[in-house]
Amino acid sequence: MSRILLDTNALIWSVREPTRLTGAWRDLIVDADNDVFFSSISVAEISIKTSSGKLAMPDGYVAALVQSGLAELPLTAAHASMLETLPWHHRDPFDRMIISQALVENLAVMTSDAAFASYDVALV
């Protein structure tokens, strides 16, 4: 069993362009033995990009994610406090919060962002 947190890019692809996910990634997401999470941080990032016209997402995509079996991971105080000691290898605040969540919750991150490898976080 794996515990996986989808980075925002993997989350967007899973909703809009599932064929951009590798077959191995799709298999991990749909495997009922795995605990797969999406972050409330990703929803905030997507909402900001959608409202600014930089991204289009289907209506009701969050409800569809939950119905598909993905679990929401809210940002907690423990996640937020990890940001204070997190090295500044990556400057994107959304990615830094996702990395913090993964470290606190001992989750592997599914991402195509090479900058995540600079952190002591498991990657898919």
The answer on pLDDT for 75 being more than 90 is yes
| Burial readout 40-55 (b: 16 or more C-beta within 10 A, e: otherwise) | bbbbebbeebeeeeee
Q: Please state, for a pLDDT cut of 70, what percent of the chain lies above it.
A: 100
**Domains within the chain, CATH numbers bracketed:** 3-118 (3.40.50.1010)
Q: Read off the pLDDT of residues 40-72 as tens digits, 9 standing for 90 and up.
A: 999 999 999 999 999 999 999 999 998 999 999
The answer on pLDDT for 99 being more than 90 is yes
Band of the pLDDT at 1, cuts 50, 70, 90?
Answer: confident
